[in-house]
Each structure stands twice: as structure tokens, then as C-alpha cells.
Amino acid sequence: MILIILNLFAPARSHALEQRLTIDDVLGLYQEKVQQRLKPRFDFADVDWPPEKVALVAFKDTRLLELWAYTAGRWQHIKDYRVKGMSGTRGPKLREGDYQVPEGSYGIELLNPNSAYHLSLKLDYPNAYDRQQAEQDGRVDLGGDIFIHGGRSSKGCLALGDRAAEELFIMAAMIGEQNVSVLITPRDFRFRPQLPVADNLPAWTGELNTRISSHLRRFPLADKRSW
């Protein structure tokens, strides 16, 4: 009799476990809450909500991620997020399993509403520059599945906590992943000089830092406002 009762309940439990959220489901759950949290910040920065496009600028050394929105032909700072979990050291990601957070300029490839870390945004790593340098170095198996996600721990990704993940996920879903860019840098080159290339890093890391520094000029420190 006990076996029969367990079997009767097993299909229902299995069906529940197979239920998966869609992006529309997540919008229904969090869009209003996120708007209540973020719209005052956009109003303060004199930027329309939802924004036309946004940029996420992450600094490895200080574990900070800046949110910028594009308006009237320029980028305006909106707010900062604390990176609560990441792995690796300064320097680009080179291969699968090195647990390095990549460095460079990336787009958002997809949104995952069923992430093991609440919600997540997948970066398009490796990008064209990563692949080009790997080919020159003779490296293969560059790795992948690099996300910005919720939670507080990560191996090769950026964990921002669930609340931040909700905000970034909802914005990306509202304006389209193609309108979200991500810049990851070892340090803030806007006021700190470039790093010498360490012996354990590829020689082209200096060139990569120069490219990152050039991208950073779009986000001037003078435009950061206090909240």
C-alpha cells in the first residue's frame, strides 16, 4: 500500500519540477518592483525610463559594477552595484577551467530565467578579439558560459546578488539584449595608469588594456552623480 501511495504522488512531483519560467514570467514577477526601485534613479539622472540602451562597466580590483544609460547622445551614470562574488585575478580569460573573469568589451547573448543563481545574463565570451588572440597563441578550448548573475558566489562569472540580478535582467528584457553592453576591466584606467604586463600574462594584454582604456573614456568620472 505504501508503494502505491508513493507512485500516485510521484508524477505530480515530477511535473512540478519540470515547470520552467519564461522571460515573460520573470517580467510579470519583477518588472513593477524593479521599476519602483530604478525609475527614481533614472529621474535623478534625467534619463527616460526605460532607457534606450545601457552599459555595464565592471572593475575587478574594486569589485564594483557601474550602470550607465545612453541619453541625448551621451552616457549618463545611474548607479553602482557591488560585485559579491568572482574568481581569478587580473588578466584575461585564456582557457576553460581557469576560473578567470574575462576582460574586454562584450554583449549580452541571452537571458536565463531559470538560472541556478536566480537570474542571469550570458556574455558573448569569447568575442572576436578573444578568438583572434587565441588563434595567434595556438590556444584552443577557450571556455564559455560566462554570466552576470544573482547569488554571492561564482567561478569565472560576476555574482551581484539577487536584487541586482533582477534589475539588470528586467532592463535587458525590456530594451532588448542587443542594447546592453558590458565592459570588464582589471582597474579604473580613467584615473589610474595602465598596468605593466605581468610575466604570467600574454604580451598582448597591454594592447587589450589600451583598448579597454579607450572604451572607458565614454564614461567620464565627472558625470557620476551621488544618490
Which residues are known catalytic residues? Answer: 149, 157
Sequence letter at residue 138 = G
Q: Show Cβ contacts of residue 68 under 8 Å, excluding neighbours closer than 6 positions.
A: 54, 55, 56, 57, 75, 76, 77, 78, 219
3-state secondary structure of 93: coil
185 close to 58: Cβ distance less than 8 angstroms: yes
3-state secondary structure of 226: coil
Give the residue among 192, 75, 201, 199 at the shortest CA–CA distance from 133. Answer: 201
| Residue matched to cell numbers 525610463 | 49
For residues 99 and 102, what is the distance between their CA atoms, to the nearest angstrom?
9
3-state secondary structure of 16: helix
Find the length of the chain: 227
